[in-house]
Amino acid sequence: MPPEEIAPGIYILHERDGARLATRSSDPVPVYGERIHNGYRLWDPYRSKLAALILKGKWQTLPLKSNSRVLYLGASTGTTVSHVADIVSEGLVYAVEFSARSMRDLVRLCERRKNIIPILADAAKPEEYAPLLEPVDLVYQDVAQKNQAQIASLNCARYLGQGGELCLMLKSRSVDTTAPPQAVLQSELKKLEGLELIKIMNLEPFHLDHWAVRARWNPGPSEEGH
């Protein structure tokens, strides 16, 4: 059976042992040990929270098009970044990572992928990389810091246009290891400024105590232009 495109740039491969999520790459070389099949890179939901979200959401995915611009906060070594770059093949991924060690692997990926721009910076200080960015369609955040909601709000206020979206992968244990995860979630949601919630989904069984939070940038009059 041929691959089934379930959203722009995202596919399901039907194999003997079941269906597998995949993206199609112009550079079909493994990034994190994933299997390649006829130019399609299998996308592991246990390694990528975005893959888990797509599967858990019955394939209702983010508003990504081939020419979308994405600000990716917490790029690490590029596991999910590489799949996002496959999807936005004619767009750009601004990949922000704080760890110099992870950045070395990310830079090697960027040498092969011309639509990924690596940025060594602290996502909590979005003003530091302002000279490198233009407005984006999506802010995707996956950082293990206490102030996750604040980081998301700061970056959305600076880089998202009206109607742009946030996808926040909220790690409750990184915020507070003692409070109940659901309580952490509700507390962090209240800190998202200028954002209108679209959907919240837990990522179990793929990722424990993680939620995907989708929100649309919709600032009030006092926030407009900040």
Q: Which segments are annotated as binding site?
A: 79-80, 97-98, 122-123, 142-145
Helix (H, G, I), strand (E, B) or coil at 53: helix
Q: How many CA atoms are closer than 13 Å to the CA of 185, on its beta-carbon side?
A: 18
Please give the annotated binding residues for S-adenosyl-L-methionine, written as ranges.
79-80, 97-98, 122-123, 142-145
Per-residue buried b or exposed e for 146-158, using 16+ beta carbons within 10 Å of the residue's own CB: ebbbebbbbbbbb
- Reading the block at residue 218, the tokens are 């919709």
Phi-psi region of 225 (alpha: psi -120 to 50; beta: other; left: phi over 0): left
Candidates 127, 134, 123; CA nearest to 169 is: 123
